[in-house]
Amino acid sequence: MTDSFQTQVTPDNAQTPRPDAAARHGVMAMPQLDYTPELAKEMEPLYERVKTVVPPVEWPFFAPYIKAINNLKKQRGAVILAHNYMTPEIFHCVADFKGDSLQLAREAARSDADIIVQAGVHFMAETAKLLNPDKTVLIPDSKAGCSLAESITAQDVRDLRRKYPGVPVVTYVNTSAEVKAECDICCTSSNAVQVVESLNAPRVLLVPDRFLAANVNNQTDVEVIPYEPGRCEVHERFTAGELDDYREMHPGLKIIAHPECTPEVLKAADFAGSTSGMINWVQDNHPAKVMMVTECSMSDNVAVENPDVEFIRPCNLCPYMKMINLKNILDSLVYMKEEVTIDPVIAAPAREAVERMIRLNG
Ligand code: SF4
């Protein structure tokens, strides 16, 4: 584990002492979690919606949690942000806002809720906190990290600045607040080319994902310098040869890929885009058969809303995203844990890097 991630999960109470979230909002009683015939009947319409992606044998376990979470959300005045990679029982049954990390943080900023529960990984909860500094932001498991975010520290960025003096540094949103604080501007996979070009510089460092940097480099005249160690352990596993094999097995298959994959995979795909871009592509094009080359829960989530499309699922799971589940979401709401806090000295420049990107996108 890198020093940057350790700092992310360390409360900043030493600098700004205040009661923790449980003391501010109170702890509630754990609800009953029995799957009674009454509950089964009440939850039938919801199951109808997700029955193609949630096996019947799992529903009696999920349903009491879903009911309890939705009740508690109302009592707490809380909202749940769910990333596109959450499992369908979270994504479709308890989430208030769904999307990529930036969409989620922006939605949270517009909401009146005092409490935000991030169903996603830690850098996403930090981004939500950066944009909602006065709200209580909780993550059900603060160990839910990200191989990309953990591949780079603030010191690594300072070293890069020394190695490339005067070259602006763009950070992908998948980084800790400490890393964002050292960078000039943030980007997402959907706006990375636009952000790089906005700096009007002949060379730009794009950290930490080396494949995103290579893919952006292929789309612009700006020289995009990668940070070699950075990669997503989920997306780097896909290969162009694997895509060819799927095409052979499934004639007519359309393949859409995330830009955290290698340039070879993107070249072999019919379309490349962010998670939101991929979802829009399916909705706009309605292919008979599609394969989403990304974390595998996303196919389940998109399939629910596109029942006429056949999804071929090459299943690469993100172990960090899968640390978030209905049980720890419920624990978050009952016990008000785990609270995300950011040292104000780091939060100010990190927020500026995120807001600079948002201003660019309007
Ligand atoms: S899928 Fe990759 S980039 Fe996304 S959270 Fe998991 S490890 Fe990080």
Could you read off the pLDDT tens digit of each residue along the chain, which spans 362 residues?
333 333 343 444 445 567 899 999 999 999 999 999 999 999 999 999 999 999 999 999 999 999 999 999 999 999 999 999 999 999 999 999 999 877 887 887 888 899 999 999 999 999 999 999 999 999 999 999 999 999 999 999 999 999 999 999 999 999 999 999 999 999 999 899 999 999 999 999 999 999 999 999 999 999 999 999 999 999 999 999 999 999 999 999 999 999 999 999 999 999 999 999 999 999 999 999 999 999 989 999 999 999 999 999 888 999 999 999 999 999 999 999 999 999 999 999 999 999 999 998 76
The domain made up of 235-312 has a fold known as Rossmann fold (3.40.50)
pLDDT at site 78: 97
Q: What is the pLDDT of residue 2?
A: 33
CATH topology of domain 21-145+321-338: Rossmann fold (3.40.50)
Task: Indicate the top mutation candidate among 100, 318, 322, 323 to test ligand 1's pocket, ranked by most ligand atoms within 8 A of CB.
Answer: 318
Q: Which atom of ligand 1 is nearest to the CA of 147?
A: 7
* pTM exceeding the 0.85 threshold for the entire prediction: yes
Q: What is the pLDDT of residue 110?
A: 86
Q: How far apart are CA 140 and CA 80, in angstroms?
A: 11
Q: Pocket around ligand 1: residues whose beta carbon is below 6 Å from it?
A: 121, 146-148, 174, 232-234, 260, 295, 318, 320-321
Query: Hey, which of 122, 176, 232 would you mutate to test ligand 1's pocket, going by the most ligand atoms within 8 Å of its Cβ?
Result: 232
Q: Which CATH number fits domain 149-232+348-360: 3.40.50.10800, 3.40.50.150, 3.40.50.1100, 3.40.50.2000?
A: 3.40.50.10800
Where do the domains of the chain lie? 21-145+321-338, 149-232+348-360, 235-312
Residue with the smallest CA separation from ligand 1 atom 2 is: 232
Quick check: do 21-145+321-338 and 235-312 share a fold? yes
pLDDT of residue 108: 79
d(CA 138, CA 119): 9
- pLDDT score, position 362: 64
Expressed in angstroms and rounded, the spacing between residue 148 Cα and the centre of ligand 1 is: 7
Of 292, 295, 298, 316, the one to substitute when testing ligand 1's pocket (max ligand atoms within 8 A of C-beta) is 295
